């Protein structure tokens, strides 16, 4: 009861106070950027692209923050990395953005849009829908990332180096993201409230 009241109060304040709404957005976007940077440090070195927690972060941002805030977090993350902050898993600065990992990094923007778009329309309200949503997000990442890699090392090599080794990790990270959905809703009460009201 107290949680429902707090959520409703938060929504009312956001509607009546643009400053509060802006502050909330900044906090959520900043938190998403920090989460993505931290997950990027979880990595298994591989050539030419390491296995990392970044893609898990993209799934969580799309589901937890939605399209606009999710994109904001990713843009802030890419901006920090481009400026030289050690937030990327596979290099520092602009070198990472134009090297083998560049396609994967840029793919985070459309991927978080796809995941956020589907979640905002209720696809994350069932286990099956969440799995489809997160697999779709991964598909966007791999299509763009492998295509970029193919330009650098050739199509066959890109498939073998940029896709095949990552398939087991994709399945695992998709399952983890699906299981973490209830926690995401608790951390972002407005998303939780939207899911509850839409499913009522």
Phi-psi region of 154 (alpha: psi -120 to 50; beta: other; left: phi over 0): left
Q: What is the model's pLDDT at position 89?
A: 77
Kind plus residue range of the DSSP H or E element containing 51? strand 51-52
| Distance in angstroms (rounded) separating the CA atoms of residues 154 and 165 | 17
pLDDT tens-place values along the chain, 200 residues long? 333 444 454 555 555 567 767 888 898 999 999 999 999 888 776 655 667 888 999 999 999 899 999 999 999 999 999 998 989 876 777 888 888 889 999 999 999 999 999 998 988 888 889 999 999 999 999 999 999 999 999 999 999 988 988 888 888 889 998 888 876 666 655 555 445 444 44
| Distance in angstroms (rounded) separating the CA atoms of residues 42 and 125 | 28
Domains annotated for the chain, with CATH where assigned, are 26-192 (1.10.1760.20)
- Record the pTM: 0.81
Q: List Cβ<8 Å contacts ≥24 apart for 93-100.
A: 100/48, 100/49, 100/148, 100/149, 100/152, 100/153, 100/162
Q: What is the model's pLDDT at position 99?
A: 87
Token pair of 87, please?
A: 């937030």
């Amino acid at each position: 009861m107290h949680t429902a009241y707090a959520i409703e109060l938060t929504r009312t304040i956001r509607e009546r106070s643009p400053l509060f709404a802006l502050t909330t957005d900044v906090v959520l976007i900043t938190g998403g950027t920090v989460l993505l940077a931290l997950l990027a440090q979880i990595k298994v070195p591989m050539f030419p692209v390491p296995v990392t927690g970044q893609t898990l972060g993209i799934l969580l941002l799309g589901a937890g923050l939605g399209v606009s805030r999710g994109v904001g977090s990713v843009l802030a993350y890419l901006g920090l990395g481009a400026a030289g902050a050690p937030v990327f898993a596979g290099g520092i600065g602009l070198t990472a953005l134009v090297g083998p990992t560049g396609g994967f990094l840029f793919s985070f923007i459309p991927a978080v849009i796809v995941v956020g778009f589907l979640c905002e329309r209720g696809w994350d309200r069932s286990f099956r829908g969440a799995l489809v949503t997160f697999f779709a997000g991964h598909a966007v990442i791999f299509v763009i990332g492998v295509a970029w890699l193919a330009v650098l090392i050739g199509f066959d090599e890109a498939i073998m180096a940029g896709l095949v080794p990552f398939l087991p990790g994709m399945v695992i990270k998709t399952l983890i993201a699906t299981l973490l959905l209830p926690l995401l809703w608790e951390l972002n009460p407005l998303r939780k409230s939207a899911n509850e009201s839409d499913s009522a």
